[in-house]
């Protein structure tokens, strides 16, 4: 199978896969993500896609597993958000300042590229070191440090002037990840 075969597969089955996902999600954008991810898998495993009418059930199976992964990811993101909120609530004295700061940082993070946002989240929220981030992203470790540095710089630019050491000031980025405990052997 080649690129033309993939184009035909996509044209013949995308609407069906999208419908499959729409019937199983609450938000259309989630269904679109599931459908797109399904066809990414199909492209990567093109040699394994059955021919003819057997392709649709195969794609549905991929979509089903993709949807399960998507739901697990939503649960992890929600749990991460809850954990982060609990940690920040203990670290900030004035809840009003915390809310404003978090809203500023969240809004600024959303304005970053997906790549910058991901590397910052892995470091600041997940507590991963650059070599661990490299494993997650599937890139050489030498790529992560400058990427992380540039992402932090871009975030600071979006947040405004350097707040110094005032953790409640907008634009403050902790030198260390937000997690309160570090795993043994990972510095």
> pTM of the predicted model, to two decimals?
0.44
In terms of residue numbers, what domain contains 38? Answer: 3-73
Task: List pLDDT tens digits, range 60-119.
Answer: 999 999 999 988 888 888 888 888 887 776 665 555 565 566 677 778 888 889 889 889
Domain edge (last residue) among 73, 107, 129: 73
> Is 83 part of any domain?
no
- Distance (Å, rounded) from C-alpha 8 to C-alpha 14? 10
- Same domain flag for 126 and 158: yes
């Amino acid at each position: 199978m080649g690129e033309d075969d993939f184009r035909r597969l996509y044209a013949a089955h995308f609407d069906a896969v999208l419908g499959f996902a729409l019937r199983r999600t609450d938000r259309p954008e989630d269904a679109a993500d599931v459908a797109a991810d399904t066809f990414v898998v199909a492209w990567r495993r093109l040699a394994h896609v059955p021919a003819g009418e057997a392709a649709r059930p195969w794609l549905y199976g991929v979509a089903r597993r993709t949807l399960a992964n998507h739901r697990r990811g939503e649960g992890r993101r929600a749990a991460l958000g809850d954990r982060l909120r609990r940690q920040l609530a203990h670290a900030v004295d004035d809840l009003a300042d915390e809310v404003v700061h978090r809203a500023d940082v969240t809004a600024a993070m959303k304005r970053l590229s997906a790549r910058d946002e991901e590397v910052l989240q892995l470091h600041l929220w997940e507590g991963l070191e650059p070599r661990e981030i490299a494993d997650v992203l599937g890139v050489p470790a030498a790529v992560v440090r400058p990427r992380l540095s540039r992402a932090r710089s871009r975030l600071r630019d979006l947040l405004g002037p350097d707040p110094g050491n005032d953790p409640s000031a907008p634009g403050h980025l902790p030198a260390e990840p937000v997690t309160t405990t570090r795993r043994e052997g990972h510095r």
